[in-house]
């Protein structure tokens, strides 16, 4: 009986070891595949023409808004051949955050699907389904997983340190219509008890009150002034100080 018990225990331990190894292999392969996909996306966007911001004038003068829009649509054409759900490109200089942004008709699909719409634990960087245009929306929200290897939005956790913020205060978002720049002004951990996150606002006073609340919530002062005339970009990822918490970064549009 003792021998059989030992064999059973050994069998269980071996099974656990093999299952753990299998899960680790899946995780590593998913990471490799995700990195390959995103590298392919970067090559496509970098191979296209310079953005109108870098090439905004010619002998006839400034480009019109419609010409700028056409240039950006051409710039994203190759990416849309891969996935028409791509709505832009998010980048924070000198970080690993350099990704296409997807948008579905809900906030569930790209939690666990990559740019090729294949199942992936890492998912994609994606925009809230309620947003329509980064040019027009008062509040644009973008989500991404906090991966332990630092990919996706994993590197956002470094903004818990004010010194890191001072070195990386800007976010760029290139849409299919134009390039935009955003200055970070608030960084904080949002717990399930907070219950104040908002996507839409009843009026200007409601928006002003919200801006003041998220400024006061910041882990450290940034010195960036914000008003109800500013558009808001928010990056959201998981954090683990408390159960079901989120790490949130807010930025205002400056370009």
Residues 137-180 have pLDDT tens digits of: 999 999 999 998 899 999 999 999 999 999 999 999 999 888 99
Greater pLDDT, 40 or 217: 217
Question: For position 57, what pLDDT does the model report?
Answer: 43
Phi first, then psi, for residue 34 (nearest 5°) are -65, -45
Name the band, by pLDDT with cuts 50, 70 and 90, for residue 77. Answer: confident
pLDDT at 92: 98
Report the pLDDT value the prediction gives residue 30, as an integer from 0 to 100: 58
pLDDT at 42 over 90: no
Backbone angles phi, psi at 119, to 5 degrees: -55, 135
pLDDT at 69 over 80: no
pLDDT in tens, 78-118: 889 889 999 999 999 999 999 999 999 999 999 999 999 99
- Read off the pTM: 0.83
* pLDDT reported for residue 39: 77
pLDDT-based confidence at residue 66 (cuts at 50, 70, 90) = confident
Share of the chain above pLDDT 90, in %: 66
Q: What values do phi and psi take at 160, rounded to 5?
A: -65, -20
Cα angle 112, 115, 118 (rounded to 5 degrees) comes to: 55
The pLDDT of residue 46 = 72
């Amino acid at each position: 009986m003792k021998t059989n018990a030992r064999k059973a225990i050994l069998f269980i331990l071996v099974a656990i070891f093999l299952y753990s190894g299998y899960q680790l292999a899946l995780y590593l392969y998913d990471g490799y595949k995700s990195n390959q996909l995103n590298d392919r996306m970067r090559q496509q966007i970098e191979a296209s023409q310079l953005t109108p911001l870098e090439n905004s004038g010619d002998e006839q003068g400034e480009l019109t808004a419609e010409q700028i829009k056409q240039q950006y649509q051409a710039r994203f054409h190759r990416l849309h051949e891969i996935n028409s759900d791509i709505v832009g490109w998010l980048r924070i200089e000198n970080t690993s955050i350099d990704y296409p942004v997807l948008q579905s008709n809900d906030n569930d699909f790209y939690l666990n699907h990559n740019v090729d719409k294949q199942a992936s634990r890492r998912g994609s960087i994606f925009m809230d389904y309620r947003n329509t245009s980064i040019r027009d929306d008062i509040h644009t929200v973008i989500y991404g997983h906090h991966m332990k290897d630092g990919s996706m939005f994993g590197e956002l956790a470094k903004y818990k340190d004010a010194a890191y913020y001072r070195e990386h205060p800007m976010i760029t978002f290139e849409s299919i219509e134009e390039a935009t720049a955003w200055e970070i002004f608030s960084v904080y951990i949002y717990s399930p008890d907070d219950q104040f996150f908002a996507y839409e606002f009843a009026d200007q006073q409601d928006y002003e009150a919200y801006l003041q609340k998220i400024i006061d919530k910041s882990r450290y002062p940034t010195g960036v002034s914000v008003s109800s005339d500013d558009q808001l970009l928010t990056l959201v990822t998981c954090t683990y100080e408390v159960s079901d918490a989120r790490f949130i970064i807010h930025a205002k549009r400056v370009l």
